[in-house]
Structure 1
Amino acid sequence: MRLPLIVFKFILIVINVVKLCDSFPTPTTPSPLDVQSFRETFAARMKSFMNTSVDPCHDFYEYACGNYPNVIEDNEITKKQNVLADLTHVIDAFVDEILQKERQPDELYFEELQTVKQYLESCNKAQLWPLAPSEEYLKVIETIGGFPAVDSAWNVSAFDWFNMTAHLIRFDVVGLIKEEIFLKHPFPPYYEIPRIGFDFDVYLDNIASNESAGYKHNVKIMKELLELYGVNSTKSDEVVSQVVEFWQEVVVYQDKAKDRRSCRAAALEDDLDEYEFPKWNSLFEIAWDAKDSFICDDCDCPCDWYFKKLDDMSANRSEAMANYMALKFLYTMHAQLKSTKLQHQHCVDQIKRSVPVILTHFYMKEHYSTEDQKEVEEIVVELKAKFIQLIETLDWLDDESRIGNTITMNTLQTEVGEIVDPMSDTYIREIKQLNLTENYDANNLELAKFRVNMQHYAFLQADLDENASPLGVLNAIQVNAFYNLVTHRVNVLAGIMFPPVFHRHLPQSVKYGSLGYIVGHEIAHSLEYRGRKFEKLFKNHTTYSEESAKVMYNRSRCFVEHHSNFTVPLLDIKLNRTKNTLESVADSGGLREAFVAYKTVANEKLTVKNNSEHLETLPGLDLSPEKTFFLSFAQVYCAKYGVKEYWNEIYADHPMDRYRVLSTLQHFEEFSTTYNCSMGTPMNPEKKCRVW
């Protein structure tokens, strides 16, 4: 099979520095010239992202990625622009090819694919920009709670905020409750407190003043939607003011209920520690068509104290709550485009979100390379072996913990490409249940409900196969690798096996610096200690003694203390994120073991070839293999940040791209040695943190 030109579109999308060849050699028999040409193009791409005027020992992220925002093309439908998000455009090209290919009626899943094409056609033909008001959307809002801003007959006494947010779940819209699906069989739901706002998250810090970027951005969105639906400016100002006042009150409660411990403390303060929110049954009746509640027993319980506060607020804030949820519904349903240029990409994205399993089927059948899979599997095996060796030598692990972690690693499963699942065929067959017409807005609502129905589908099956996987992990064309704590398996999905993360013609220094690090990060997650309850539930063996668990905790806290030295630009807020601890530990351990694995591969496998040094460098980059390794790691996280992106990530589980690169490298002696960073320089601090 010839390697499709699509693999090169990544480079063309990111930067127009080189015109690529019209063809590419078969992957099994590449000529030296073709490999050289590919590497020259790839090196030019890497170099274009760099800001070489910056001393790498002062700020390696700026050195590696400082020019990325200047060469990347703006994309308004991408939530955040970074290298991994750019990679999704490569997948879009494959999806296009799958959808455009002529097929015979007797081909497997022909009818289902025709249904998908019907949605795509209606989406491509629709007027998505400039926005037009939708009667279909207004009809739905009227039936689920109303839109007082546009309906003078809206009846506050008939409104129930909890019922409206439950209805929003049916349409895959996050209102005042966020539903997630637990990864453990049989995949029950659990519920979290969502962030308030539209695409700019609202916090105490950024909504207190009407001069803040968060305030201005969210107000602009609300006013544009209200104008679109015929609300005059005077009424619009009143509606927006009421919604903002509601936000300013609710974020105070969100701050007090940010985790299980703080929720319990707030409940105790109000003498509500035994309180149970009484409305959960109505959510399941509405969102699941079920009569009984079935919140995940193994998950953290929802913060009933917080939802009682919302219930209390509804006595005076019902109109604001209804308007906010109606606006959130409209914002979610309408395409957020600035022109028609990316309309087709938006339509393809909707298909990828909604029917990923059928796309996975055709991608794996028609485009996936088993040769690539074999090489990625070798990288995974090498990383796992290095972690096993590490466990044998770590001085802070006692014997009990060394045995427990060795068992954990020996039982760790890995899977590359896709997750083969007995439910996949069922999910694809269900596509025929979609009732599509020529009306795009109606089709969009139908597709949203279908997404939610499929997320709920497995749990509602009385005879669900015990080997079934949750729907979310069956999407092999997502740019992702992850550790599934339920199955104790590291999965490397097909969608991440593209440049710059992986390509067979790249040097091992690049492969291990990018994909090797990512795999190592996920393996490190398998070694986390999350308490005895967790180990009993998922591992069936004790991983850590109490003594080693304490040592691990203290070593992990070092990363939290280190992060407090970072100040986020544009926000002037210092990082102090306990929530990022596990991710920071996994980043550090993953990169360390990827480097060790790379050195093994370089020493054992490449020395049998002539000019092994040459094989490990990129033409025109003028960097040693070791320097290339660290540059490849950093450029996985090249990103374009503004105020909105900083706010949306400052309280997220994963550290912001910039700081996960800086922190990971600052604590790694091999990096300092490779780039000759003197002790005491920003990238080589005297105090270093290490768990793995």
Structure 2
Amino acid sequence: MERTLCAIAIVALVMCLAMTLALAFIGYQYQKLIENGNGNKPSAHKLVKDVEDNENNLQELPRKEKVCLTPGCVKAAAELLKNMDETVDPCKDFYHFACGGWVESQVIPDDRTSVSVFSVLQDELNNKLRGLVEKEPENIEPSHITSMRNMYKTCMNLTEIEEVGNKPLLDLLQKFGGWPVLEGSNWNESNFDWLNALIHFRQNGFSHDLLLDLSVTPDFRNNTRHVIDLDQASLGMPDRTYLLRGLNDSAVRGYFKLMVESAVILGADREVAEREMLDALQFETILANYSLPREERRNISLLYNKMNISEIQKLAPNIDWHKYFNNLLNEPIPDNEDIIVNVPSFVRKINNLIPETKKRVLANYMIWRVVLQSFATLGKLWRELAQEYNKVITGQDREEPRWEQCMSSLTGSLGIALSSLYVKHHFKGESKDMALDMVNYIHREFLRMLDELDWMDKQTVDYARAKAKAISSYIGYPEQILDDEKVGKLYETLNLTMESYFDNVQRLRKWSTDYAFSQLRKPNLKGDWRKHARAAVVNAYYNALENSIEFPAGILQGSFFDKDRPNYLNFGAIGFVIGHEITHGFDDRGRQFDKDGNNRNWWDHKTDLKFRQRTQCIIEQYSNYTVPENGLRVNGINTQGENIADNGGLKEAFRAYRKWVEDHHEEAMLPGLKYSPDQLFWVSAANVWCGKHRSEVLRLRVLVGSHSPSQFRVIGPLSNLPEFSTSFNCPKASPMNPELKCSVW
């Protein structure tokens, strides 16, 4: 501990003295004094004199003892020292060794559910975006930027939102025939038709996915075209598993209270609201029971059931399917139109449920979902009610600042306009070239790994190589988002004004659905710039239908990437992410698509069985992890895709870094740190997942998330990699070097 404090002190001293090259060398000299057992701290004058005397001697040190003295290295060293807890044995718990200091120093703000390296970078990005959006334009600007500013300003105008109160919502409810729980005996049951209600919702910018989910997507088996997709209903709670627990569950009780209080705020009698909303909740629970669990939705082929209207009519004869499709879609469709039905059993059951359900119950539930979608557009009372529910679900104690809420309203459908503004002002182009070089190294390493596999037959390996070679990379942003004319054309039918936030939200929702449905008759163009234009996000993606990987401008900075620090840190951080996304093409879901992005089986049967055996090892490994904050076990089935990607991606990134060293040179160590470049690669990789979460949101992540909690994204992959144990000399059978190791790629 004393040694660590001294190292931190000297790094701080170096930074305080402007982090010049000469004074950075003090960090190295001071560390050597500590290693030699000299506890007397030399004077700054003496150290500067030593720098002058020994400046050239540094170049004569053996390669392994060289220390990087640039400002970028000093900054990186300080950050790593701050993040780490060197009192923890890296061979026992590498997550807390690498992230313990970071976790200990973090306090989750009342308006947050967690803090993480991702969220810290996202906060920095949001502040930049806020500055751009709130800044008054200096010149005449494109209409899509004006619309975006209008959306933000009306969202921030809480005075207007409070003044209009509930009137915008109440007016719409009357337009929809009224909410039975409010209308009482005045509600006209004979005028209610569930399908007409859905159509009215769709026309006014509300979701039409309350009983069945209708969308237009690329055809999974012929992705040059778009196709209609019919799926099970969306739900008001985050996942069906909540509803199945019933009112004994605190989250379901919170949801039920949300339903009741919403009705009371709008004028319902409380006793009536409790009775009728309970019926609505029970109806939604039936929908949850009919829905296919996430664990059963990983096999893409089971979700691909091609039918036409006549066949769907036979499956569910109680529903007027011509009316359903022809009024919800942008234009009528012929009887022989291909429609992909994801879960035929759900469609068949909903066909029987609707006529068996009282119209009052059905209407109360459907209108409730309209009210739920309106919370964010209404006044303070509604936000407080939503916050009370959010606290039960996520542990968040206070709503986030209004400007952050308003910024979130821009990042969805207006994300391309926002990204255009961001890239023009903030993104540094050289990061793009360096990231592409790393992608190439890691990509080539994955191909080498395929050649070394002993469990795949040659034909399947050849297919895998062909798919890997065909992966397209999208880094930073497409050049088109700098072209105001091209971006403007995307938004040419959208007009957001300064008049009403409620109306703006509804216009934007309807425009977004209209745009998505307008793709039905258009070809699906791979590489279409609009699919890769959301640059202002801290995330990365693999697209199975395009067989592409994407690293937006927002993630090419901060803890993930810095051109001024050693490459072992970059390969450990963004390199890990790059390898992760490449491996997604070969996880349990990605492998179901061929090199052209079509759902086609290219696996030899025996090799397929071996893949499943190896995947089962991963499933069981992660299923045995227990989240200490809430005692829940990780769902190894739902997280298997991300876990496979983590394990393969980290392995690729390390091998790629070692290859980079072969091609270039061994890199210098960091000042004030005793760890080798290889060891710091692993620390950097772990630092990507440093996080601190409330127990409630961890519960939510375990129940519905596809990612394992942070610590297991570090412990899991590292304990499977012999290269890691070699770097830290971890004894056999130690926690980070178990005898049983899982490996897919």
Any conservation in 2 of the 1:129–1:339 contact (CA below 8 Å)?
no
Moved more, 272-281 or 438-447: 272-281
Aligned mates of 1:547, 1:119 — CA distance in 2: 56
The aligned counterpart of 2:354 is 311
Q: Which residue of 1 aligns with 2:657?
A: 598
CA shift for structure 1 position 224:
4.5
Map 1:100-499; keep pairs closer than 5 Å: 100-101=134-135, 103=137, 105=139, 110-127=142-159, 133-144=165-176, 146-152=178-184, 153-161=186-194, 164=197, 168=201, 171=205, 173=207, 175-178=210-213, 181-183=216-218, 184-193=223-232, 196-198=235-237, 200-203=238-241, 207-210=245-248, 212-254=249-291, 259=296, 275-276=315-316, 278-292=319-333, 300=342, 303-308=346-351, 310-311=353-354, 314-315=357-358, 317-331=361-375, 333-334=377-378, 342-419=401-478, 425=485, 428-432=488-492, 433-459=494-520, 466=525, 469=528, 471=530, 473-499=532-558
**1:633 corresponds to:** 685
Task: Write out per-residue CA displacement over residues 642-662 of structure 1, whole angstroms, 9 at most, x where no aligned residue.
Answer: 224423442433334343333
CA displacement, residues 609-662 of structure 1 (integer Å, 9 cap, x when unaligned):
xxx332xx3x55654333332232233223314224423442433334343333
Measured after TM superposition, the shift of residue 515 of structure 1 is 0.8
How many angstroms apart in 2 are the aligned matches of 1:50 and 1:161? 58
1-side partners of 2:416 and 2:591: how far apart?
36
- Map of 2:723 onto structure 1: 670
Q: Which runs of 5+ in 1 are unaligned?
A: 1-16
- Aligned partner of residue 613 in structure 2, secondary structure: helix
TM-fit CA distance, 1:206:
6.6
Alpha-carbon distance between aligned partners in 1 of 2:236 and 2:165, rounded to the nearest angstrom: 21
Q: Cα RMSD (Å) of the superposition?
A: 4.3
What letter corresponds to residue 229 of structure 1 in structure 2?
L
Does the 8 Å CA contact 2:614/2:744 hold for their aligned counterparts? yes
CA deviation profile, 1:575-602 (whole Å, cap 9, x unmatched): 4433332322221111101011122223
Letter paired with 1:87 = L
What secondary structure, in the 3-state scheme, does the structure 2 residue paired with 1:150 have?
Answer: helix
**C-alpha distance in 2 between matches for 1:469 and 1:424:** 17
Q: What residue is the counterpart of 1:613 in the other structure?
A: 668
Task: Tell me how far apart the structure 2 counterparts of residues 415 and 500 of structure 1 sit (CA, whole Å).
Answer: 20
Query: Shift of the alpha carbon at 1:387?
Result: 1.0
CA-CA distance at 1:66 after TM superposition? 5.0
* Distance (Å, rounded) in 1 between the aligned partners of 2:613 and 2:167: 57
Q: How many residues align?
A: 653
What's the secondary structure of 2:315's corresponding residue? coil
Query: For the residues of structure 1 that align with 2:529 and 2:176, how far apart are their CA atoms?
Result: 29
Q: Letter of the aligned partner of 1:289 in structure 2? A: N
Shift of the alpha carbon at 1:382? Answer: 0.4
> Offset of 1:222 from its aligned partner?
3.2
Give the whole-Å Cα distance in 2 for the aligned partners of 1:636 and 1:390.
24
* Structure 2 Cα separation of the partners of residues 313 and 683 of structure 1: 57
1:579 and 1:653 in contact (8 A); partners too: yes
| TM-aligned CA distance change 1:666 to 1:176, over 3 Å | farther
1:399 to 1:574, Cα distance in 2 relative to 1, 3 A? same
- Aligned partners of 1:142 and 1:64: how far apart in 2? 58
When normalised by structure 2's length, the TM-score is 0.75
Q: C-alpha distance in 2, partners of 1:684/1:397? A: 26
Output the amino acid matched with 1:322.
Answer: M
CA distance 1:445–1:39, shift in 2 (3 Å): farther
1:224-269 Cα deviation digits (max 9, x unpaired): 434443445434433443343334433322257963689999x9xx
How far apart, in 1, do the equivalents of 2:617 and 2:79 lie? Answer: 35
Counterpart AA for 1:445: Q
Cα deviations by residue, 1:439-485 (Å, 9 ceiling, x for unpaired)? 22222222232333333343355xx5845638554212222222222
What is the DSSP-based 3-state SS (H/G/I as helix, E as strand, rest coil) of the residue aligned with 1:491?
A: strand
Give distance in 2, aligned partners of 1:249 and 1:197. Answer: 13
Question: Is the 2:292–2:343 Cα contact (8 Å) retained in structure 1?
Answer: no
What one-letter code is carried by the residue in structure 2 that aligns with 1:637? W
Contact 2:111/2:398 (<8 A) preserved:
no
* CA contact 2:242–2:252 (8 Å) conserved in 1: no
Alignment partner, residue 50 of structure 2 = none
Is 1:581 matched up with 2:640?
yes
- Give per-residue Cα distances to partners, 1:116-175, cap 9 Å, x unaligned: 222222222225998984321233334346422333333344434455456556636463
Question: Distance in 2 between the 1:633 and 1:176 partners?
Answer: 43
On the 8 A contact 2:580/2:648 being kept in 1, the answer is: yes
The amino acid of 1:125's aligned partner reads N
**Structure 2 counterpart SS, 1:490:** strand
TM alignment of 1:517-536, pairs within 5 A: 517-528=576-587, 534-535=593-594
Q: 1:145 to 1:366 in 2, by over 3 A?
A: same
Summarize the Cα distance change of 1:221–1:625 in structure 2 as closer, same or farther, 3 Å threshold: farther
- 1:402 and 1:631 map into 2 onto residues whose CA distance is 32
Shift of 1:416: 1.1
- 1:595 counterpart letter in structure 2: F
1:560 offset after TM fit, Å?
1.3
Q: How does 1:24-173 map to 2 (within 5 A)?
A: 36-50=70-84, 54-66=88-100, 71-72=105-106, 74=108, 81-101=115-135, 103=137, 105=139, 110-127=142-159, 133-144=165-176, 146-152=178-184, 153-161=186-194, 164=197, 168=201, 171=205, 173=207
**Residues 412 and 488 in structure 1, CA contact (< 8 A), matched pair in contact too:** yes
Distance 1:196 1:598, change over 3 A: same
Q: Could you list the per-position Cα deviations for residues 536-556 of structure 1 after superposition, in whole angstroms to 9, with x for gaps in the alignment?
A: 973699854333222222211
| More displaced 10-residue stretch of structure 1: 46-55 or 594-603 | 46-55
Alpha-carbon distance in structure 2 between the residues aligned to 1:164 and 1:626 = 61
> Residue 484 of structure 1 contacts residue 490 of structure 1 at CA under 8 Å; is this kept in 2?
yes
Residues 542-561 of structure 1 correspond to what in structure 2 (within 5 A)?
543-561=602-620
Q: Is this contact kept in 2: 1:524–1:590, CA < 8 A?
A: yes
> What is the CA distance between 1:64 and its match in structure 2?
3.8
1:187-220 superposed Cα distances (whole Å, 9 cap, x missing partner)? 445344356334x54515873343x332243234
Amino acid at match of 1:459: L
Q: Does the Cα contact within 8 Å between 1:129 and 1:340 map onto a contact in 2?
A: no
Aligned residue runs from structure 1 range 644-683, under 5 A:
644-683=697-736
Cα distance in 2 between the residues matched to 1:501 and 1:138: 47
| SS of corresponding position for 1:438 | coil
Question: CA distance change for structure 1 residues 681 and 156 in 2, over 3 Å: closer, same or farther?
Answer: farther
Q: Please say if residues 480 and 493 of structure 1, whose CA atoms lie closer than 8 Å, have aligned partners that are also in contact.
A: yes
Deviation at 1:353, TM superposition (A): 1.6
> Secondary structure of the equivalent of 2:541?
strand
Task: Tell me by how many angstroms 1:354 deviates.
Answer: 2.5
Deviation for aligned residue 1:77 = 7.1
Q: Which amino acid aligns with 1:219?
A: F
| CA separation of 1:295 and 1:136: change in aligned 2, threshold 3 A | farther
Contact conserved, 2:471 with 2:595, CA < 8 A, in 1? no
Tell whether 2:739 aligns with 1:689. Answer: no
TM-score by length of 1: 0.81
Q: Secondary structure at the match of 2:549?
A: strand
